[in-house]
Amino acid sequence: MNRNLLVRPLGIGTLSLPNNLALAPMAGTSDLAFRRICHRMGAGLTVTELVSARGMMHDPAMRRNWRYLAIDADAGAMGIQLFGADPDDFAAAIWQILDHPILGRCSLIDINMGCPVRKVVSEGAGCALMQTPQLAARIAQKAVAAAQGLKPVTVKCRSGWDDASVNAVLFARMLADCGVSAITVHARTRAQMYGGKADWSVLAAVKAAVSLPVYGNGDVTCWQDADRMLRETGVDGVMIGRAAQGNPWLFRQIHSQDGTGPGPEDRRDIILEHLAQLAELLGEATAVREMRRHLGQYLRGTPGAARLRAAAMAVTRREDLENLLGEWQIRCQ
């Protein structure tokens, strides 16, 4: 095996990323707290969850969106993902980001052209744009122009809408002509949603068709998968979604090519760090409530997980959750 193929620096437009591993945008997961942790574990890029380009205009003070978009220097390179169906909305949102004293420091702007959710596609946004490539091109051109070369604009799409319309190759070529700096392809169709198996042959075809950096995405769950995706498809980077939920150590494992997972103490420490950062961002009560969901992911497959999760449902204070975790850790040893 050629070990050098795996983790390596990656350039996206004017941006130099330390490595080619990325945390996928995930609604409900990719907040600042988790992005920071994944960055520390070795993700070279993290991306916020999707935020409505039009919604940004109605939230000039970022009261609603701040929790999704918050960035800081500790979180490394970070992309802001926008969704929408009106090119002007993207231009306005990007100007707003560039003008913002903190968001203006983001590393890139990513356009969502892959979301399969009915509410999004029914408005012509997300993966619906793969069925309206002319509109997708106008959005990409407007976004690239609005970013004025100050930030690379990237796109995340799927293989296509359904089996009968797998068009990622043509779509990627078109986006490259629009000035987009990189493309991520989730190797599933919209019809597949998150089921079935990702078809990595689409990744190889897209990579062969464009000279832009391409991130492959879909079904990478261990360092061997990341290695195989890079070698088999030739993509430049690997973007990881679900397998990183509650498992930020995956990035470290890919770097070291060693699948050893965290011990109970390490797991507890990261959960506590996540909780503390959520509390800073959202206040204690919301942080504890949100942490219950993350806990299920962090504790997946560990002894006593079900008992701890059940007990966590009843607590509202950070201190109580910390105590429960302490007890869980002792039981694990």
Ligand X SMILES: Cc1cc2nc3c(=O)[nH]c(=O)nc-3n(C[C@H](O)[C@H](O)[C@H](O)COP(=O)(O)O)c2cc1C
For ligand X, which is the closer residue by CB, 219 or 264?
A: 219
242 binds ligand X per the rule CB under 6 A: yes
Candidates 131, 123, 195; CA nearest to 157 is: 131
290 binds ligand X per the rule CB under 6 A: no
Measure the CA–CA gap between 139 and 23, rounded to whole angstroms.
24
CB of 49 to ligand X, least distance (A): 4
Measure the CA–CA gap between 112 and 131, rounded to whole angstroms.
14
Tell which one of 52, 81, 96, 329 touches ligand X (CB under 6 A): 81
Tell which one of 49, 89, 225, 236 touches ligand X (CB under 6 A): 49
For ligand X, which is the closer residue by CB, 182 or 325?
A: 182
Listed ranges 24-32, 90-98, 160-168, 255-263: which one lies at the site for ligand X (CB under 6 A): 24-32
Between strands 10-12 and 15-17, the pairing is antiparallel
CB of 303 to ligand X, least distance (A): 26
114 binds ligand X per the rule CB under 6 A: yes
Measure the CA–CA gap between 111 and 106, rounded to whole angstroms.
14
**Please, which of residues 194-223 interact with ligand X by CB under 6 A?**
194, 217-220
**Please, which of residues 245-264 interact with ligand X by CB under 6 A?**
none
DSSP tag of 166: B
Listed ranges 108-116, 248-256, 297-305, 325-333: which one lies at the site for ligand X (CB under 6 A): 108-116
25 binds ligand X per the rule CB under 6 A: yes
Tell which one of 84, 160, 213, 241 touches ligand X (CB under 6 A): 241
For ligand X, which is the closer residue by CB, 26 or 275?
A: 26
> Nearest-CB residue to ligand X?
241
Output phi, psi for 243, to 5 deg. -70, -15
Candidates 26, 42, 7, 28; CA nearest to 243 is: 26
For ligand X, which is the closer residue by CB, 42 or 218?
A: 218
Listed ranges 110-118, 167-175, 253-261, 306-314: which one lies at the site for ligand X (CB under 6 A): 110-118
CB of 147 to ligand X, least distance (A): 18
Active-site entry in 38, 106, 115, 127: 115
Question: What does the chain come to in residues?
Answer: 333
Measure the CA–CA gap between 228 and 5, rounded to whole angstroms.
10
H/E run at residue 215: strand 214-217
CB of 329 to ligand X, least distance (A): 27
Candidates 255, 117, 284; CA nearest to 193 is: 117
Alpha-helical segments (H) within the chain = 32-41, 53-57, 66-69, 87-99, 118-121, 133-147, 168-177, 201-209, 223-233, 249-256, 264-282, 284-298, 305-312, 318-332
Tokens of 205: 């075809």
DSSP tag of 103: G
Are 59 and 66 within 8 A, CB to CB?
no
38 binds ligand X per the rule CB under 6 A: no
Q: Which residues contact 205 (CB under 8 A, 6 or more apart)?
A: 168, 169
115 is catalytic: yes
Listed ranges 20-28, 86-94, 202-210, 223-231: which one lies at the site for ligand X (CB under 6 A): 20-28
Measure the CA–CA gap between 183 and 110, rounded to whole angstroms.
9
For ligand X, which is the closer residue by CB, 80 or 271?
A: 80
For ligand X, which is the closer residue by CB, 154 or 329?
A: 154
192 binds ligand X per the rule CB under 6 A: no
**Interacting residues with ligand X (CB under 6 A):** 24-29, 49-50, 81, 112, 114-115, 156, 186, 194, 217-220, 240-243
Looking at the annotation, which residues are catalytic?
115
